[in-house]
Amino acid sequence: MYGIDPFHWLKLILLIIIIVLAISLFNLIMQNLLKVKKRSSFSYHHINKQHKMIDWTLRIACIGFLFFAYFINIGRIHEDRDWFLKSTYVVFVLIALTELTRAFFEWKYDENKKAYLLTISNWVLAL
């Protein structure tokens, strides 16, 4: 049989709902265990000015590297491209660096010293 399963989209939506619920439940449990106040889901909280500067430097460097990688890879065939120049890997490294930076600044400067454990556990769950 060619094509996709008739229930493909239903299965995909169900999978996304299950993943979102599992992550939300994990966050709720970890927040209660660590006694960390709830963070807003769609905003990014910088710990201090130095954290904000480092975070934005990482983001701008990543965007610059993505443009650099695009222009290097544009002339190559797909199988010939270097793995470290692929956008998926670059974005993954950016997320890892920003989350590790956030965890470091939470550990070093945040009032709640256990907040960094929540950040690291969320990152490990995402992996």
Distance of CA 86 to CAs 27, 95, 104, 119, Å? 31, 15, 27, 26
Is residue 41 scored above 70 in pLDDT?
Answer: no
| Lowest pLDDT segment from 43-47, 63-67, 95-99 | 43-47
Is residue 1 scored above 60 in pLDDT?
Answer: no
| Lowest pLDDT segment from 44-48, 64-68, 95-99, 116-120 | 44-48
CB atoms within 10 A of CB 22: 11
Cβ atoms 23, 125 nearer than 8 A: yes
Sole residue written with tokens 């399963």? 5
Structure tokens at 54: 């480092």
Q: 55-85: per-residue pLDDT in tens?
A: 999 999 999 999 988 888 887 777 777 777 7
Q: What is the pLDDT of residue 20?
A: 92
Q: Where are the alpha helices (DSSP H) in 1-127?
A: 8-34, 49-73, 87-109, 115-126
42 pLDDT tier (thresholds 50, 70, 90): low
Q: What is the pLDDT of residue 43?
A: 65
Contacts of 66 (CB under 8 A, 6+ apart): 87, 90, 91
- Most confident by average pLDDT, 71-75, 109-113, 117-121: 117-121
